[in-house]
Structure 1
Amino acid sequence: MTTSTLTSKGQVTIPAQVRASLGVGAGDRIEFVEVEEGKFAILAVNRSIQELKGMIRKPKRPVSIEEMNAAIARQGAGSE
């Protein structure tokens, strides 16, 4: 297991092995996602928009802005 030490300023150096595995370097962003209480996953947030193309399939039929707004309103009403 790879470990690191928290500084008095709340900073942590990510070990080289972990940085390489995540594919991150200086200036890249990372995200901490809670996967269960007290446990977090570290995700690289350094992908370009171009890399995301094709991840979501196209709808079977075009959806209008009005239909999108109605769906959002229905979801919002259900969460109250």
Structure 2
Amino acid sequence: MLLSTLTAKGQMTIPKHIRDAMKLRPGDKLEIVLNENQEAVIRPVAKKVDEVFCKLHKPGRQAATLAEMDEAVKKRVKERFK
């Protein structure tokens, strides 16, 4: 188990083993989300287009229209911020 200590300013250091495994670098953004058990889940925010380019591509699947994308975004925002 790796431990980290919270400072008086609310800051903590992420252990090197975790930073290396997550490929984190100085200046990277992290998203922290509480799950249903009130446990924090830390995820890196995508930094570069190159890292996510074509990740959603599936051969044979038709591209979504702008209207379909807008509707999907609206639905997700409503679900997330009930």
Q: Do Structure 1 and Structure 2 share a fold, with TM-score over 0.5?
A: yes
Bigger radius of gyration, 1 or 2? 1
- Matched residue, 1:42: 42
Q: Could you tell me how far apart the structure 1 residues matched to 2:43 and 2:64 are?
A: 33
Q: Which has the larger share of strand?
A: 1
What is the Cα deviation at residue 32 of structure 1?
A: 0.8
Q: Give the aligned length.
A: 74
Unaligned runs of 5+ in 2: none
The runs of at least 4 aligned residues of structure 1 exceeding 6 Å deviation read none
Q: Could you tell me how far apart the structure 2 residues matched to 1:62 and 1:12 are?
A: 41
TM-score computed with the length of structure 1 as normaliser: 0.67
Aligned residues with identical type, % of pairs: 30
What is the Cα deviation at residue 47 of structure 1?
A: 3.2
Matched, 1:57 2:57: yes
Check conservation: 1:32, 1:42, Cα contact below 8 A: yes
Amino acid at match of 2:53: K
What is the Cα deviation at residue 62 of structure 1?
A: 6.3
CA RMSD, Structure 1 to Structure 2 (Å):
3.2
Amino acid at match of 1:40: A
Q: Secondary structure at the match of 2:35?
A: strand
What is the Cα deviation at residue 46 of structure 1?
A: 4.3
What is the Cα deviation at residue 57 of structure 1?
A: 3.4
TM-score computed with the length of structure 2 as normaliser: 0.66
Q: Could you tell me how far apart the structure 2 residues matched to 1:60 and 1:36 are?
A: 35
Q: Could you tell me how far apart the structure 2 residues matched to 1:22 and 1:61 are?
A: 31
